[in-house]
Structure 1
Amino acid sequence: MLAGAEYLEGNGDPGSLRLFRLVPALKDLVKESKEKIEKVELGWLVTYEVVGGELRDLYDPYRVTFTFSSVPEKKEEQCTVAWKAEFEPRSPAVPPPLKAKNAALSFLKSFESTAMPPPSIVALDGPQDQLKVQASPRSSQSIL
């Protein structure tokens, strides 16, 4: 999914700028995504706004929040990862970012498959564009 990632400014704290370059298979969707980190609660939440790249050309704002919640009966072993996108199309002709949603799901699945058994999908949509995946706290923190 990722061909490269780097911090342009900062080290992951709020205000940091990071740049993701995606693999050729996703280049018809997004080649690069420049993101400003807005909020971090280590191990629990990260919010960023896309400030450059193809998504920014289509949506303003385009903000993503990853939230990590413990599974009550398996607190030390599992958590739920929720992905939420808030966006406003720049024009009425711009469709909702369904490809970005599917790419986020693929990213979480591929990440989990390298760390532990495949995740369980809890939900793919909701009142706002969201998806939820069962994951381990250990690997979820690495996403931050």
Structure 2
Amino acid sequence: MNNRLDFYKASPDAIKAMVGLEQRIGKSALEKSLVELVRLRASQINGCAFCMDMHSSDARKAGEDERRLATLGAWRETPFFTDRERAALAWTESLTLVSETHVPDAVWAQVEPHFSPEEITDLTLLVVAINGWNRFSIAFRKTPA
């Protein structure tokens, strides 16, 4: 598969805006391991090979356990994730599939006890950002190196 367009070169200002989101996420109180799990899970749902490759590698570099990475797609059926991580993953899936889920109250009830209002907002920004990156990479056929 060939890249359609180098979006970094095509519109540096658009990428600068995306990087601004990442800078805020980097300053948030969200744990690095949680951030990478969210990025990877959204990328799995969206089928973004470039982002899946990048974020599984980043998660490993941050010390993430291979077993958790291997079972992330079936996180509900494993004992490997904390309640906070489960809430974040449910939120991620619901927001990533927002046209199907409309983020039901049950998902809100799962996430709200585990995160402060600021953290929920930052978690939402994280999901928005990775879904944006997925769409850039998928639309323009960015593939792992």
Higher share in strand: 1
What TM-score results when the alignment is normalised by the length of structure 1? 0.30
Q: Which has the higher contact order (CA 8 A, sep 6+)?
A: 2
Higher share in helix: 2
What TM-score results when the alignment is normalised by the length of structure 2? 0.30
